[in-house]
């Protein structure tokens, strides 16, 4: 079961992945104004917090949820050790907030690393371009938490911010689109869609 919680001034999606059999849950990208998220979690046990990338809108509530669920494991790319606690690299200073978020508990730096969470294996795919530490989380059940790589109807994450790389973004989009067509993408902003639905919009991009 997957629940969407759109929150904050950036209309960012915080996702909640729940294994109803084990009663375990994963929080993906804890944003701002999280009271409603806690209502969705209820009595489920939060075991992991997935962070797709260290930008303000995706980590604004990270310290709060870690305090709320202290045994939950923060999972992110190794480069998030630099972005999460740095207000300049996580872009929070740009918006006048200066967030010093906690560093990850578990990181990776190899291609297609895996981690077990909420009853299944997840493949972690490094997808820089929008952010240097961007990760796509791909589950065995064809769930993809895509962060800000691709959105509905052919839109994609910004590449005009500090730390962005348009060339790397093209490669990362290709990685995301290589997933099976029936994969459902749960993005950082907007609604869900399948990889099969997304591919035609990106045919004009030359990788």
Residue 162: exposure state from Cβ atoms within 10 A (0-12, 13-18, ≥19): exposed
Is pLDDT of 207 > 50? no
* Residue where the block lists tokens 């939060």: 46
From CA 7, how far away is CA 134, in angstroms rounded?
Answer: 20
Give per-residue pLDDT as tens, 101-156. Answer: 999 999 999 988 999 999 999 999 999 999 999 999 999 999 999 999 999 999 99
Paired residues of 4 in beta bridges: 15
From CA 89, how far away is CA 106, in angstroms rounded?
Answer: 20
Asked whether the beta carbons of 81 and 106 are under 8 A apart, the reply is no
Domains recognised in the chain with CATH numbers:
2-202 (3.60.15.10)
Give per-residue pLDDT as tens, 62-112. Answer: 999 999 999 999 999 999 999 999 999 999 999 899 999 999 999 999 988
Give per-residue pLDDT as tens, 23-63. Answer: 999 999 999 989 899 999 999 999 999 999 999 999 999 99
From CA 197, how far away is CA 181, in angstroms rounded?
Answer: 8
Asked whether the beta carbons of 148 and 189 are under 8 A apart, the reply is yes
Report pTM. Answer: 0.95
């Amino acid at each position: 079961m997957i629940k969407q919680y759109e929150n904050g001034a950036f209309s960012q999606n915080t996702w909640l992945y729940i294994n109803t059999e084990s009663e375990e849950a994963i929080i993906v990208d804890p944003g701002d104004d999280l009271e409603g998220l806690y209502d969705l979690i209820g009595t489920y046990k939060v075991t992991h917090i997935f962070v797709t990338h260290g930008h303000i809108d995706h980590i604004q509530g990270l310290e709060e949820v870690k305090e709320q669920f202290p045994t939950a494991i923060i999972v992110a790319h190794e480069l998030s050790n630099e972005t999460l606690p740095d207000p300049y690299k996580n872009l929070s200073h740009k918006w006048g907030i200066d967030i010093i978020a906690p560093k990850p508990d578990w990181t990776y730096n190899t291609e297609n690393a895996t981690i077990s969470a909420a009853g299944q294996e997840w493949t972690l795919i490094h997808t820089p371009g929008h952010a240097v530490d961007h990760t796509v989380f791909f589950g065995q059940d064809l769930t993809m938490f895509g962060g800000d790589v691709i959105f509905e109807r052919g839109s994609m994450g910004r590449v005009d911010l500090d730390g962005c790389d348009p060339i790397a973004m093209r490669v990362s989009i290709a990685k995301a689109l290589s997933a099976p067509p029936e994969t459902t993408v749960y993005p950082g902003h907007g609604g869900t869609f399948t990889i099969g639905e997304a591919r035609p919009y990106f045919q004009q991009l030359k990788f």
